[in-house]
Amino acid sequence: MPQSKLTLSEFLPYQLSITSNAVSDLIARSYRGRFGLKIPEWRVMAVLGERPSATQRDLVTLTQMDKVTVNRASKELVDRGLIARAPNESDGRSHHLALTDVGRELYHQIVPLALSVEAEIEEILGGEQTRVLEDMLAKLRERVAEMEKRFG
C-alpha cells in the first residue's frame, strides 16, 4: 500500500530543494556582500560569461528561472552597467544581452569564488561520489522533463 502521510523532512523533492538552496546560498554569500549581486543576477551573468550574448528567452531556458525573474535580474544588471542590450536583428521584439567590460571583469572576480565552493563540496563527496551524484542529477532532470509533458 502506498504511503498516505507526507513527512516533509523525508520528502525527496523537499530534500533536493533545501540542499540546492543551501548550496546556492553558500556561493551567494561569497559574492552578495562584496559585489551586491543576488542569486538570479549572478546566474544571468554566469550564463552570459559562457557565451557572447543571449536573449532573455535564452536566459530563461539556460538558467531554468521564470521570465519575470530573468527580466528583473537583467534590468538590474543593465542599470548597473554590467550587461548591455543590443537589438535582435532577427526578432524585433527581443534584445541580445551581453556582459559589458565591467561585467566581464566582475564575472572573472566571482568565478574563482564559485569554483572554490564547488571544490570544497566535491571534497566532501570525493571524486567517484561526485560523478555518481552528477549522473543521478542528470537522470532526474531528464525524467522530470518527461514527467512535465504528462502533467502539462
* CB-count burial class (<10 Å; 0-12, 13-18, 19+) for 37: buried
What local confidence, expressed as pLDDT, does residue 116 receive?
Answer: 92
Q: Residue written as cell 556582500?
A: 33
pLDDT of residue 94: 80
What local confidence, expressed as pLDDT, does residue 30 receive? Answer: 82
Coil vs helix vs strand at 83:
strand
pLDDT of amino acid 67: 95
So what's the pLDDT on residue 90? Answer: 78
Residue 74: predicted pLDDT:
97
Q: pLDDT tens-digit profile of 106-149?
A: 999 999 999 999 999 999 999 999 999 999 999 999 999 899 88
Q: Are 84 and 69 in contact (CB under 8 A)?
A: no
- Flag whether pLDDT at 24 surpasses 80: yes
pLDDT digits (tens, 9 = 90+) for 54-95: 999 999 999 999 999 999 999 999 999 999 999 888 777 788
> What is the overall mean pLDDT for the chain?
92
- Give the model's pLDDT for residue 1: 56
Give the pLDDT score at 151.
82
Q: Which domains does the chain have, with CATH numbers?
A: 21-151 (1.10.10.10)
**Structure confidence at residue 2 (pLDDT):** 66
SS3 11: coil
Q: Is 130 left (phi over 0), alpha (psi -120 to 50) or beta?
A: alpha
